[in-house]
Structure 1
């Protein structure tokens, strides 16, 4: 089996509206001028880098923005521009939500259980409802359409609709899988939060995690529901993937990632004795430093030669304790053999690092062949994406531009050109 990372292409409406309460980077950069073209090109460079490492790479596409259809549900009438203009005059905050490009963070698209783990031997994907944040709660219907198109062969895949609200589900950002290898049966860890009075929101509900495990047909003995630590949430770790990441036999986590780390580690060691647990002590890297650098919001991947690489954002070099710890880790001859650093500054300023930008899907050869090839990348298709972005994406978006009809039309034109260039028929997405 092979693992494919499906990265979200940053959409043409990428902006800094500061909509994500509890996401410190998003709040800190609210009101800044965004660079959608640069953001998308940074993401494409990441996809090219993964291909150059010899790893399969896919893409998920920007959603239709601005979301005039959603605004119609709220009582605004007329054609798309009339709806948006009326909403901007009456409730500009609604337009800001309807312009969000947050679907680029495809770790929140859904939760994926590969075929070796499931009762029916198919890969199960549950679309995330993202019900905790208004702008993200708009994503599920369009995400479901893409996933059902990409993974439409029901001999190999089953895509489940989003769970009902209010059971907040944030997808793979609160999920980890460990196994002897991608093709072996594994254990699945679902991380949830507990809401504290006056604190940042705990976005993943325990009930949602349990429901996804049931609907995927997982053996209860292979599942652990893990409480994220209150300290991590309070520090700004709005998803588990801000403080922990796993790949095959390795768990890489901050000391304060989980409320009861001893129980988590005991479960892993009991079910997967060959596992390596790399715990970063808070005394060496504080939670604040981990969140500021997004050390753990990195991709931990298995390379074709069998070694592992950690794909980190450039911000890790800017935090001395983090960079020092990474050098010490590499000198220790452990399972992570290399650190690959990428520039994702535009995404990072909105609170999403390398791990946020990708959804991991492990498949065998037959399932790989069944994936809609329009969602799979090679160097030529990366070049096509880059050309489309260069020609159609806005160079800059300032806060007040979100009410500009010219920007609304440019976003629609850009997405239409993208879909046509990739071979999608009108109305497919």
Structure 2
């Protein structure tokens, strides 16, 4: 991590490292890209290297950039719980023969999208002055609900110092408390170290509120309110606002597919929120400090909702470099869509907002499964003492990025089909890789096969 990042509170990005079983099974109902590319062969090696390239580039920009390890997959303990028995190899073969969908679920590498790993509140916002983590229960999808236990162990291994960090258990795993983590949570502030505003966006709330008709709303208001209580957030600095139901029905399964916030800026599509005017008014009233709120709204007439979902314009990262300049981190798909690229250039040229530049990354392996730049990272605001308390091996610099790239090239396959998930050699390869990775990142025994 660059030494300049330690001078003051920063918003660190912890990206998920793509796992060895990255595949396209089309498991996420409501995720248009995931469904479109179902059953196609994947390239886990390329997927992981693309993610590492983004981490390396952001670290070179001077950002505090970290990494979170992938999960153990195929997850044989899940298949055992679902009635399969015998050796690991026998379980994989039986699942492929009798319940291939369950094998795909147990093999998903979806933990790479760490925007869903947890909701994180900075110490400046919490009553006890510590950073709070609540892992998402992800109970709306079976392939993701099995992530919570490992996510909890990984977060505790990276953020271990109890003087700085508080780790809560995931909320009870029931649809009434559906929690999808930071993908539906945004923080605005004047400066990262100041007390800020925490915005929780939900899709399912009171019975009298319009609900999506085609696709499920994964985040509930009850869950968001529970997380806010657990974190000890101040009522006056916490807002619960609803997604527009029609947007969910067009593939906006998380708020980070249609809106992104950073410091004082909220960049969003016209159809992102059920009542955008009320949300803006609340932010203007409650955000204090030298910087005043900046709203960048993209109208439907300029970028349709369908084009926003296809390009993942709003699933970009909005970051601040050391000099305070804001940059958009976008996927190649946004560059290739002429209308979306014109909008990005307009936003950058507009002196009324602080967004001054754009960086484009090839993340096609992730994008084909429905996850863009913002899906791949968990934002954690840290003051200098908290930065120093993070597991040091989980920070990315050029040397660590190179070590991770070599690890991927040594252990990952360059082609994976759904039939390959039943190959016992893949399980052995994955466990060997993860065992080596825990040493590389200083994580200890976080995986079931190590315990």
Q: By the TM > 0.5 criterion, same fold?
A: yes
Corresponding residue number in structure 2 for 1:193: 203
Distance in 1 between the 2:112 and 2:409 partners?
A: 18
Q: Is the 8 A contact 2:17 2:112 kept in 1?
A: yes
Structure 1 residues 79 and 427: CA distance shift in structure 2, 3 A: farther
Equivalent residue in structure 1 for 2:228, among 213, 220, 245: 213
Corresponding residue number in structure 1 for 2:277: 262
Distance in 1 between the 2:117 and 2:254 partners?
A: 13
Corresponding residue number in structure 1 for 2:344: 326
Equivalent residue in structure 2 for 1:294, among 305, 312, 315: 312
Equivalenced residues, count: 429
Equivalent residue in structure 2 for 1:397, among 416, 420, 423: 416
Q: Is the 8 A contact 2:393 2:440 kept in 1?
A: no
Q: Is the 8 A contact 2:118 2:135 kept in 1?
A: yes
Q: What root-mean-square deviation, in Å, do the aligned CA atoms of Structure 1 and Structure 2 show? A: 1.3
Distance in 2 between the 1:198 and 1:134 partners?
A: 21
Q: Is the 8 A contact 1:394 1:410 kept in 2?
A: no
Equivalent residue in structure 2 for 1:38, among 36, 41, 46: 46
Task: Give 3-state SS (helix, strand or coil) of 1:124's partner.
Answer: strand
Distance in 1 between the 2:348 and 2:66 partners?
A: 29
Task: Give 3-state SS (helix, strand or coil) of 1:346's partner.
Answer: helix
Corresponding residue number in structure 1 for 2:113: 105
Corresponding residue number in structure 2 for 1:275: 293
Corresponding residue number in structure 2 for 1:146: 154
> How far apart are 1:88 and its partner, in Å?
1.8
Structure 1 residues 34 and 24: CA distance shift in structure 2, 3 A: same
1:225 aligns with 2:244: no
Corresponding residue number in structure 2 for 1:7: 15
1:183 aligns with 2:220: no
1:174 aligns with 2:180: no
Task: Give 3-state SS (helix, strand or coil) of 2:315's partner.
Answer: coil
Distance in 2 between the 1:176 and 1:378 partners?
A: 26
Distance in 2 between the 1:424 and 1:159 partners?
A: 16
Structure 1 residues 170 and 39: CA distance shift in structure 2, 3 A: same
1:235 aligns with 2:250: yes
Task: Give 3-state SS (helix, strand or coil) of 2:416's partner.
Answer: coil
Task: Give 3-state SS (helix, strand or coil) of 1:407's partner.
Answer: helix
Corresponding residue number in structure 1 for 2:5: none
Distance in 1 between the 2:420 and 2:155 partners?
A: 31
Corresponding residue number in structure 1 for 2:321: 303
Task: Give 3-state SS (helix, strand or coil) of 1:235's partner.
Answer: coil
Structure 1 residues 427 and 246: CA distance shift in structure 2, 3 A: closer
Distance in 2 between the 1:374 and 1:63 partners?
A: 18
> How far apart are 1:198 and its partner, in Å?
4.4
TM-score (norm 1): 0.98
Task: Give 3-state SS (helix, strand or coil) of 1:226's partner.
Answer: strand
Corresponding residue number in structure 2 for 1:315: 333
Structure 1 residues 190 and 424: CA distance shift in structure 2, 3 A: closer
> How far apart are 1:106 and its partner, in Å?
0.4
Equivalent residue in structure 2 for 1:372, among 387, 391, 394: 391
Distance in 2 between the 1:253 and 1:43 partners?
A: 25
Corresponding residue number in structure 1 for 2:403: 384
> How far apart are 1:73 and its partner, in Å?
1.0
Deviations 1:249-288 (A, max 9, x none): 0000001000111111111111126100001111101111
Distance in 1 between the 2:24 and 2:173 partners?
A: 26
Distance in 2 between the 1:319 and 1:28 partners?
A: 18
Distance in 1 between the 2:417 and 2:73 partners?
A: 16
1:421 aligns with 2:443: no
Structure 1 residues 231 and 427: CA distance shift in structure 2, 3 A: closer
Corresponding residue number in structure 1 for 2:56: 48
> How far apart are 1:405 and its partner, in Å?
2.1
Distance in 2 between the 1:207 and 1:303 partners?
A: 35
Q: Is the 8 A contact 2:213 2:249 kept in 1?
A: no
Distance in 2 between the 1:144 and 1:36 partners?
A: 24
Distance in 2 between the 1:192 and 1:425 partners?
A: 36
Deviations 1:356-408 (A, max 9, x none): 00000011111111111122121111000000101110110012222222222
Distance in 1 between the 2:388 and 2:44 partners?
A: 33
> How far apart are 1:421 and its partner, in Å?
3.3
> How far apart are 1:151 and its partner, in Å?
1.1
Deviations 1:307-346 (A, max 9, x none): 1011000100121111111111112122101011111010
Listed as ranges, the matches of 1:17-28 within 5 Å are: 17-28=25-36
